[in-house]
């Protein structure tokens, strides 16, 4: 099977299992070449529904989890989006593909990974993504507020800074819980108030390490 056929087979699986629900997200998954974001030695597994190791002990998340979070985020056209945890840059590429008129900021605490994400995004042609090195548990106050925030690392609780940087009517998706098991939470802001909704989707993410996350 070619890369494209493998990608289509994975997308079909994600649709059948209900992880991809909308045509818009389906199209984005069909466009973004995950093989360009995994390490070269893992290319043969790029279209398995598995998380894969990157380096510095980090991972590119499992496609079904990425699909679930991307759907839950309900991205609209022309939005300002913050991702915390750039990793390989794959999730950021999907967001950029979903919203070509918007802008995606993705923060990564490990400089070598930020550089890896930047290179992957450049090679695959995603120009509406900015990769920033820093502690994403504090958000990115200089670019706030954000219409959407997606956190792709596990937080002990919703970081206060991220709640503050969510725009009115905004949505944040974040895995919340102890180090070894979390629940996926959607946070909405209305009338200046944050509401948390448990999406009933248990996950295990690498920790969000930072001032408003876990200690290293």
Question: Minimum distance from CB of 58 to ligand SAM (Å)?
Answer: 4
Counting contacts by CB under 6 A, is residue 62 touching ligand SAM? Answer: no
Please, which residue, 171 or 203, has the CB nearer to ligand SAM?
203
The residue within the footprint of ligand SAM, chosen from 64, 70, 79, 137 (CB under 6 A), is 137
Counting contacts by CB under 6 A, is residue 81 touching ligand SAM? Answer: no
Q: How far apart are CA 98 and CA 189, in angstroms?
A: 22
Counting contacts by CB under 6 A, is residue 25 touching ligand SAM? Answer: no
Question: Minimum distance from CB of 33 to ligand SAM (Å)?
Answer: 13
Q: How far apart are CA 176 and CA 161, in angstroms?
A: 15
Output phi, psi for 160, to 5 deg: -55, -40
The residue within the footprint of ligand SAM, chosen from 29, 32, 52, 87 (CB under 6 A), is 87
Please confirm, yes or no, whether 61 is among the known catalytic residues: yes
- DSSP category for residue 172: E
Counting contacts by CB under 6 A, is residue 107 touching ligand SAM? Answer: yes
Please, which residue, 44 or 169, has the CB nearer to ligand SAM?
44
- Closest by CA to 29, choosing from 65, 80, 79, 76, is 65
As to burial, measured by CB atoms within 10 angstroms (0-12 exposed, 13-18 middle, 19+ buried), residue 167 is middle
Q: How far apart are CA 41 and CA 124, in angstroms?
A: 18
| Contact set with ligand SAM (CB under 6 A) | 58-61, 84-85, 87-88, 90-91, 107-110, 113, 135-137, 152-153, 205-206, 208-210, 213
Active site residues: 61
């Amino acid at each position: 099977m070619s890369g494209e056929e493998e990608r289509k087979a994975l997308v079909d699986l994600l649709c059948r299992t209900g992880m991809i629900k909308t045509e818009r997200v389906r199209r984005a998954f069909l466009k973004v070449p995950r093989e360009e974001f995994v390490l070269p030695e893992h290319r043969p597994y790029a279209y398995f529904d598995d998380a894969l190791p990157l380096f510095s002990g980090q991972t590119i998340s499992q496609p079904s989890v990425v699909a679930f979070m991307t759907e839950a985020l309900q991205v609209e056209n022309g939005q300002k989006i913050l991702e915390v945890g750039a990793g390989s840059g794959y999730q950021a590429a999907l967001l950029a593909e979903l919203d070509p008129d918007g802008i995606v900021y993705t923060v990564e605490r490990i400089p070598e990974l930020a550089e890896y994400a930047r290179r992957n995004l450049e090679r695959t042609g995603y120009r509406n993504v900015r990769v920033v090195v820093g502690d994403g548990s504090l958000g990115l106050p200089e670019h706030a507020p954000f219409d959407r925030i997606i956190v792709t690392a596990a937080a002990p609780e919703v970081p206060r800074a991220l709640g503050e940087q969510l725009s009115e009517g905004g949505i944040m998706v974040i895995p919340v819980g102890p180090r070894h098991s979390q629940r996926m939470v959607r946070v909405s802001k209305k009338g200046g108030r944050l509401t948390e909704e448990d999406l009933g989707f248990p996950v295990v993410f690498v920790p969000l390490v930072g001032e408003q996350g876990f200690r290293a």
